[in-house]
């Protein structure tokens, strides 16, 4: 096996944390991106159209598949990636997924589950790493409401946010190991009510925006209320939300 690694989504939140770790581990890294080539790591390509994919996959020993778009496109993109990799020497495919994709009924989660099935049923050696929400997602939930008089969070819902850098460290270990199939899930260090996390965000910015918990409808929120996206038994991350906010 070569130490050439292809990272799809290497320009995204998780990918930007993973690529430097792989480089410092001594791997040669290719970053698949639809954007024009900006450095020697970038391989221009598009999972949806298939443009540049065969060249990017050629000769790699491991693919870490972090790319994501809207859910449905992920299925087509993952299918294209698997097809191309199957014709190119069957590298180890590591797919990043989300804790609870089979338990929380949301379109994006259904698409992620469908991608997992494609990976499992492929003839490639594979590993799937599910993680909980990244800290940045909680921040986004707050900042997207910054023009409102208050931040509204779903009542009865908790999150277990994890640091993307720590997820990247877990992926870097998987890159250096043989395929394991479903890897143990990875969650953040604390399970905390959504409103509690939002208040921590407001405090960290010395803001005054009140945070209110409101009952929200829908099957996805019900799945969240039931804790389908949580893995307290895998509270492996060490960096708390407050530590992330302070950094």
Q: Cβ 128 to ligand NAP, closest distance in Å?
A: 11
Tell me how far, at minimum, the Cβ of 247 lies from ligand NAP, in Å.
Answer: 17
- Which residues ranging from 86 to 125 are in contact with ligand NAP (CB under 6 A)? 96, 98, 112
Q: Which residues contact 97 (CB under 8 A, 6 or more apart)?
A: 112, 113, 115, 116, 128, 129, 130, 131
Which window, 85-93, 132-140, 145-153, 170-178, contacts ligand NAP (CB under 6 A)? 132-140
216: number of Cβ within 10 Å = 16
Cα–Cα distance, 190 to 239 (Å, whole number) = 9
Pairing of strands 151-154, 158-159: unpaired
d(CA 109, CA 99): 9
- In this structure, what token pair is assigned to residue 113? 């589950």
Pick 98 or 195: Cβ nearer ligand NAP: 98
Q: Applying CB under 6 A, does 33 fall inside the site for ligand NAP? A: yes
DSSP 134: B
Helix (H, G, I), strand (E, B) or coil at 90: coil
Nearer to ligand NAP, 1 or 54 (CB): 54
Cβ(174)–Cβ(146) below 8 Å:
no
User: Toward ligand NAP, which CB reaches closer, 112 or 199?
Assistant: 112
Interface residue with ligand NAP, options 5, 6, 14, 153 (CB under 6 A):
14
Task: Based on the shown chain and the rule CB under 6 A, indicate whether residue 35 belongs to the binding site for ligand NAP.
Answer: yes
What is the enclosing helix (H) or strand (E) of 195?
helix 194-204
Q: How far is the CB of 132 from ligand NAP (least distance, A)?
A: 6
Residue 108, token pair as written in the block: 């994006």
Binding residues with ligand NAP: total (CB under 6 A): 26
Q: Provide, rounded to whole angstroms, the least separation between the CB of residue 67 and ligand NAP.
A: 4
| Interface with ligand NAP, residue 8, by CB under 6 A | yes
Binding status of residue 77 toward ligand NAP by CB under 6 A: yes
Per-residue x/- marks for ligand NAP, 134-163, CB under 6 A? x--x--------------------------
Residue 217 main-chain phi, psi, to 5 deg: -85, 175
Q: Does 84 bind ligand NAP (CB under 6 A)?
A: no
CB contact set of 142 (below 8 Å; sequence gap of 6+): 151, 198, 201, 202
Applying CB under 6 A, the residues found at the interface with ligand NAP are: 8-9, 11-15, 32-35, 46-48, 66-69, 77, 96, 98, 112, 131, 133-134, 137
């Amino acid at each position: 096996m070569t130490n050439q690694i292809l990272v799809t989504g290497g320009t995204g939140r998780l990918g930007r944390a993973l690529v430097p770790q792989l480089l410092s581990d001594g791997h040669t890294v290719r970053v698949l991106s639809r954007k024009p080539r900006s450095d020697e790591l970038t391989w221009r390509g598009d999972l949806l159209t298939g443009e540049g994919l065969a060249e990017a996959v050629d000769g790699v020993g491991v693919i870490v598949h972090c790319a994501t778009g809207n859910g449905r496109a992920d299925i087509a993109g993952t299918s294209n990636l698997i097809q191309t990799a199957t014709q190119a020497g069957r590298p180890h495919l590591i797919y990043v997924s989300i804790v609870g994709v089979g338990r929380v009924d949301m379109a994006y989660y259904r698409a992620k589950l469908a991608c997992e099935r494609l990976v499992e049923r492929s003839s490639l050696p594979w590993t799937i790493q599910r993680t909980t929400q990244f800290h940045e997602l909680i921040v986004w939930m707050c900042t997207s409401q910054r023009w409102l008089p208050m931040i509204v969070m779903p009542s009865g819902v908790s999150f277990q946010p994890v640091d993307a850098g720590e997820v990247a460290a877990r992926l870097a270990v998987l890159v250096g190991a043989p395929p394991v199939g479903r890897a143990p899930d990875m969650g953040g260090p604390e399970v905390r009510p959504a409103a509690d996390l939002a208040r921590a965000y407001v405090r960290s910015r010395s803001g005054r925006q009140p945070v209110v918990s409101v009952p929200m409808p829908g099957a996805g929120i019900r799945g969240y209320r039931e804790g389908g996206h949580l893995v307290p038994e895998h509270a492996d991350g060490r960096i708390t939300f407050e530590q992330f906010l302070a950094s």
